Amino acid sequence: MKEHKKHKAEERENIHKESINEENQPVQDEQNGSAETNQPQEKSETDKIAELNDRYIRLVAEFDNYRRRTAKERMDLVVNAAEETIKGLLPVLDDFERALEMLHKAEGDHSVAIEGTELIYTKLSGYLASKGLKKIEAKGEVLDTDLHEAVAQFPAPDDSMKNRIIEVVQQGYKLNEKIIRFAKVVVGV
């Protein structure tokens, strides 16, 4: 009977060991399985980090481009606003030139009127020149369609004046090297 008890005790112990082994077996399998699934998770996390980093870099680059573009647009706006104002003053400048021409041709003593008109004309043209306005020199020059607009053709007085500007009908102007009004000219043929 002692042997029987001993045998039953061994049996219980074996059953107990087997149950412990069975309980531990799924845990080891789960650990092995999770180790295998961990690798794809790590890869996907690495991919996510790379994707987020790429999106961040692109966003920073896009913002930098936006900042540059808006700064350029602001500068263009300031330049264009000045351009429109100066374009509006060009007819006044033309009127001053015509007035001075007429006062010089007029008979009588108009020295005070000439002096006053020249003073105002000089101040206005000096101010516009300080803002970047320059006259396009045309008389006697070869016709350049990038700077001049031929409004008429006259026979040239001599061969040296062929395809050259004989007379300027309306003065042309540049603002900061950009043509804002072409010179209207008469060309010798």
Number of separate domains in the chain: 1
32 burial level (CB within 10 Å; 0-12, 13-18, 19+)? exposed
- The whole-number average pLDDT for the span 91-117 is 89
List the one residue out of 187, 142, 157, 155 whose CA is nearest residue 169: 187
Q: Is the pLDDT of residue 3 over 50?
A: yes
Mind listing the pLDDT tens digit for each residue in 49-97?
999 999 999 999 999 999 999 999 998 887 777 888 899 999 999 999 9
106 domain-assigned: no
Average pLDDT over all residues of the chain: 81
Asked whether 183 and 171 are in contact (CB, 8 A), the reply is: yes
Which pTM was predicted?
Answer: 0.58
Q: What is the CATH number of the domain that holds 139?
A: 2.30.22.10
CA distance 188 to 171: 18
3-state helix, strand, coil in the chain (%, to 5): 65, 15, 15
87 domain-assigned: no
Q: What φ, ψ does residue 22 adopt, rounded to 5°?
A: -65, -40
120 domain-assigned: no
pLDDT at 34: 47
Question: Could you tell me the end-to-end alpha-carbon distance of the chain, in angstroms, rounded to an integer?
Answer: 143
66 domain-assigned: no
- The whole-number average pLDDT for the span 137-166 is 87
- The whole-number average pLDDT for the span 140-150 is 88
**Domain of residue 177, residue span:** 133-189
Q: How confident is the model at residue 30 (pLDDT cuts 50, 70, 90)?
A: very low
85 domain-assigned: no
